[in-house]
Amino acid sequence: MIKALIFDLDGTLLYTLDSISRTCNRVLSDHALPPVTHEQLKQFVGDGVIDLLRRAFAAGGSREVPDESTVMEFKQYFKQDCDYHVAPYDGIEAVLNYCIEHGILLACNTNKPHENALKVIHTHFSDIFDMVQGNESGLPKKPDPAGVNKILKSFNILPHEALYIGDSNVDIFTAKAAGMCSIGAAWGYRGKAELIASGADEIALEPTDILEFIAV
């Protein structure tokens, strides 16, 4: 029996592309670089802020390599814009409510900065998540399983007692590294083909499809 669901955040629980785009393009403008499109961002997100910025700078033809100071610039803007046009995907709340009703624990594991992850999760889902683990100092980012392992330890459950749900190959690789089964969120930023290619155990075309795999 499944005792917990561990979700990715961006492109899985919440549509966040407008907020990331607004922040990223403010940084690019400060460095005299052209903005990136939403379609570009779908391929740039998922590996944390530093990789997002490096990809965005390269897309603009810059030879500058973003460093921690550029990351801090991004984070300062993101404090203002982390909830800009953010919304849960249709059907997500039905899945979460089912879990609450049936005693299934809920967690979020994301490469978004930890403080921002806490803020948007609380804003859109109040306190229904039992644990949120974002990117923070001393904890390797996904696809390293450190964040997932921390959640499993906190819940006192084994990997086979939880499912990992995410919209990118990074999420599927994270689940594999943690010894968990994964559900690919095909409604997210990367799409069904990438999720299948990366070895997702199951594919959910929309959030409520998850219920098929956890129904008790």
pLDDT tens-place string over residues 189-216? 999 999 999 999 999 999 999 999 997 5
Task: For strands 4-7 and 131-135, give the pairing.
Answer: unpaired
Q: Report in angstroms the alpha-carbon separations of 193 from 71, 77, 103, 196.
A: 31, 33, 33, 5
Look at residue 215 in the predicted model and tell me its pLDDT: 78
3-state helix/strand/coil string of 118-181: HHHHHHHHCCCCCEEEEECCCCCCCCCCHHHHHHHHHHCCCHHHEEEEECCHHHHHHHHHHCCE
User: Does the 4-15+87-214 domain belong in CATH 3.40.50.1000?
Assistant: yes
Look at residue 216 in the predicted model and tell me its pLDDT: 59
List residues bridging with 108 in a β-sheet.
7, 132
Q: What is the DSSP letter of 35?
A: P
- CATH H superfamily, domain 17-81: Putative phosphatase; domain 2 (1.10.150.240)
Collapse the DSSP code of 25 into the 3-class scheme (helix H, G, I; strand E, B; otherwise coil) and give the result: helix
> d(Cα 47, Cα 150) in Å, to the nearest integer?
19
Low-confidence ranges of the chain (pLDDT < 70): 216
The two structure tokens encoding residue 125: 């889902």
Domain ranges of the chain: 4-15+87-214, 17-81
Q: What is the pTM of this model?
A: 0.94
- In whole numbers, what is the pLDDT of the chain averaged over residues? 96
Helix (H) / strand (E) element for 21: namely: helix 17-30
> d(Cα 41, Cα 73) in Å, to the nearest integer?
18
Q: Over the stretch 91-115, which tens digit does the pLDDT of each residue have? A: 999 999 999 999 999 999 999 999 9
Look at residue 201 in the predicted model and tell me its pLDDT: 98
Look at residue 1 in the predicted model and tell me its pLDDT: 86
